[in-house]
C-alpha cells in the first residue's frame, strides 16, 4: 500500500529556502483571524494603490500560482514535469460580466489548450463556466433554457458558441478539458452544457470532462444516470470527481431561500459517496474515464490500492489523480514517484485579479480540519530530515 509519509519525495522540488517560506505561510494560514484581516487588507491596499503586489507575489502567490501569464508558468511546468507531475493551467481570473471580458476569457482558455498540444507535461486544460457566461444569465438558464426571454436566449446562444469553440479546439488538438463545477444554482445548466459537449466530442476519446461534487447528496445517483445517458448516446463519460468547495455558502443560501440544502448531512456521508463513486467508475472503466481530484489521503490510497488489486496499469491514461499547486505535495509527489498519473492545478493570472482565488484557498485551508496541521507537520519533518 502506498504511503504519503515520505517527505524526501514530497518536497524534493523545494529548496531549504522554499521550504521555510512554505512553513511560514502555513503558520499564518493556520490563524483564521489573520486570514480574515489579510483578505480585508489586500482589498484596501489595492484600492489605495499601496505597493503590496511584490509582497503578495513572493509569498502566497508563489505558493499557489504559476505566474501572471501562460508563459510565466513555463518554469513551474518544467519543475513539476521533472518529477513526473503534470500541469493543468487554470486561468483564475473571476467575476467578469461583459461580452468582451467573457470572450477574452474564452480565448485565454483556448490558448492553454494550444499550450498543451502534444505536450505530455500538460495533460488537461480547464475552465469555469462563469468565466464564459454572466452569472445572472447562468442562474436563469439553470431553470431551463426554454424559460429564457428572447433577448436572453440570444445571449445564451453566445455562451454556447463560446463553449463549443473551446471544446472544438480541445477535440481538434486532442487535449482533454475539464468543465469545472460551480454553485448548485448554476450546476444544472452546466451539467446540460457538459452533456451536450460530451455527446458531440467524446465519441472516440475522453475529451470533455464534467465535474461532480460529492458533497451534494444527489451526486452518486447523478453519476449513474450520466453513465446511462452516455451508453444510450454512445459516447464516453469523462468525469472529474471532487468533494466540493462551497459547503457553507450552499447551506446559507438554502436556509435564506427556504429550500432543502443540497449538501450532505456530514463529512462521513461525503467521504462514503466519494469512495462509492470511485468504485463505480472503476467497475465501468473504459466507458467511463476519470480524474480523482482530492486532497484526502484515505481516498487517494484507496484508489491506488484498488488499481493494484484490479491489475490496472498504474499509468493507465483513463485514470488520473489531481491536487492544487501548493497543497498536498505529499500526495501528488508520492503518487507520481510510485508510477501513477498525477497533475497539479496551476492557477495563473495578474496578481490583483487572482486574489479572490488566493484568499479562497487560504480560507479553505483554515476550515478543513487538520489540513494546515498536516502540511506543517510534514514540512517540519522534512526540515529535521535535512538537518541530519
Q: How far apart are the first and last CA of the chain?
A: 27
Q: What is the DSSP annotation of 274-296?
A: HHHHHHHHHHTBTTEEEEEE---
Task: Give the residue, 324 or 54, on which the prediction is more confident.
Answer: 324
Distance from C-alpha of 316 to C-alpha of 282, rounded to nearest angstrom: 12
- Pick the closest to residue 163 from 202, 203, 190, 135 (CA basis): 190
Distance from C-alpha of 104 to C-alpha of 132, rounded to nearest angstrom: 9
User: Does the domain made of 67-352 have the CATH classification 3.20.20.220?
Assistant: yes
- Ranges 40-44, 55-59, 295-299, 335-339: which has the least confidence: 40-44
pLDDT bin (cut points 50, 70, 90) of residue 218 is: very high
- Pick the closest to residue 239 from 278, 182, 203 (CA basis): 278
Tell me the mean pLDDT in the region 42-56.
58
Please give the pLDDT value at position 34.
Answer: 44
**Residue keyed to cell 431561500:** 257
| Contact in structure between 9 and 337 (CB atoms under 8 Å) | yes
**Average pLDDT over the chain, rounded to an integer:** 90
pLDDT bin (cut points 50, 70, 90) of residue 372 is: confident
| Contact in structure between 335 and 304 (CB atoms under 8 Å) | yes
What SS3 class is residue 86? strand
Distance from C-alpha of 346 to C-alpha of 301, rounded to nearest angstrom: 23
Please give the pLDDT value at position 56.
Answer: 75
Q: pLDDT (tens digit, 9 = 90+) per residue, 156-185?
A: 999 999 999 999 999 999 999 999 999 999
Give me the residue spans of the domains in the chain: 67-352
Distance from C-alpha of 360 to C-alpha of 363, rounded to nearest angstrom: 5
Q: pLDDT (tens digit, 9 = 90+) per residue, 308-335?
A: 999 999 999 999 999 999 889 999 999 9
Please give the pLDDT value at position 58.
Answer: 75
Distance from C-alpha of 296 to C-alpha of 5, rounded to nearest angstrom: 14
Distance from C-alpha of 205 to C-alpha of 193, rounded to nearest angstrom: 18
Quick one: cell of 58? 513572493
What SS3 class is residue 93? coil
What SS3 class is residue 345? strand
Phi/psi at 108 (5° precision): -65, -40
Distance from C-alpha of 163 to C-alpha of 129, rounded to nearest angstrom: 8
| Contact in structure between 367 and 35 (CB atoms under 8 Å) | no
Please give the pLDDT value at position 296.
Answer: 92
**Exposure string for 232-267, b = 16+ CB within 10 A, e = fewer:** eeebbbbbbbbbbbbbeebeebbeeeeeebbbbeee
Confidence (pTM): 0.93
Quick one: DSSP state of residue 368?
Answer: S
* Dihedral angle sign, alpha carbons of residues 79, 80, 81, 84: positive
- From the number of C-beta atoms within 10 Å of its C-beta (0-12, 13-18, 19+), residue 155 rates as middle
pLDDT bin (cut points 50, 70, 90) of residue 88 is: very high
Amino acid at each position: 500500500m502506498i504511503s504519503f509519509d515520505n517527505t524526501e519525495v514530497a518536497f524534493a522540488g523545494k529548496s531549504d529556502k522554499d521550504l521555510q517560506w512554505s512553513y511560514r505561510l502555513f503558520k499564518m494560514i493556520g490563524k483564521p483571524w489573520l486570514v480574515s484581516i489579510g483578505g480585508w487588507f489586500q482589498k484596501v491596499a489595492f484600492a489605495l494603490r499601496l505597493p503590496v503586489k511584490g509582497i503578495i507575489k513572493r509569498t502566497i502567490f508563489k505558493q499557489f500560482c504559476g505566474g501572471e501569464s501562460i508563459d510565466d508558468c513555463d518554469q513551474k511546468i518544467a519543475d513539476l514535469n521533472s518529477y513526473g507531475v503534470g500541469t493543468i493551467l487554470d486561468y483564475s481570473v473571476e467575476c467578469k460580466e461583459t461580452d468582451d471580458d467573457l470572450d477574452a476569457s474564452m480565448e485565454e482558455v483556448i490558448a492553454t489548450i494550444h499550450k498543451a498540444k502534444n505536450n505530455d507535461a500538460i495533460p488537461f486544460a480547464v475552465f469555469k463556466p462563469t468565466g464564459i457566461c454572466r452569472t445572472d444569465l447562468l442562474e436563469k438558464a439553470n431553470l431551463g433554457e426554454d424559460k429564457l426571454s428572447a433577448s436572453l436566449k440570444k445571449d445564451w446562444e453566445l455562451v454556447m458558441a463560446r463553449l463549443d469553440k473551446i471544446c472544438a479546439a480541445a477535440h481538434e488538438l486532442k487535449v482533454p478539458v475539464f468543465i469545472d463545477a460551480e454553485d448548485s444554482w448554476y450546476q444544472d445548466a452546466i451539467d446540460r452544457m457538459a452533456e451536450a459537449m460530451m455527446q458531440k466530442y467524446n465519441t472516440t476519446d475522453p475529451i470533455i470532462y464534467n465535474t461532480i461534487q460529492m458533497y451534494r447528496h444527489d451526486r452518486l445517483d447523478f453519476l449513474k444516470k450520466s453513465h446511462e445517458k452516455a451508453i444510450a448516446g454512445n459516447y464516453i463519460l469523462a468525469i472529474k470527481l471532487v468533494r466540493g468547495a462551497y459547503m457553507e455558502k450552499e447551506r446559507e443560501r438554502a436556509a435564506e431561500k427556504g429550500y432543502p440544502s443540497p449538501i450532505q448531512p456530514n463529512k462521513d456521508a461525503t467521504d462514503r459517496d466519494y469512495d462509492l463513486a470511485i468504485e463505480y467508475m472503476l467497475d465501468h472503466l473504459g466507458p467511463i474515464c476519470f480524474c480523482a481530484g482530492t486532497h484526502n489521503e484515505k481516498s487517494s490510497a484507496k484508489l491506488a490500492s484498488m488499481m493494484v488489486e484490479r491489475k490496472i496499469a498504474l499509468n493507465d491514461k483513463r485514470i488520473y489523480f489531481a491536487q492544487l499547486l501548493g497543497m498536498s505535495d505529499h500526495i501528488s509527489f508520492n503518487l507520481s514517484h510510485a508510477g501513477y498519473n498525477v497533475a497539479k492545478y496551476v492557477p495563473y493570472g495578474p496578481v490583483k485579479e487572482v486574489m479572490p482565488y488566493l484568499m479562497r484557498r487560504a480560507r479553505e485551508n483554515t476550515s478543513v480540519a487538520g489540513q494546515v496541521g498536516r502540511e506543517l507537520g510534514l514540512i517540519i519533518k522534512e526540515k529535521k530530515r535535512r538537518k541530519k
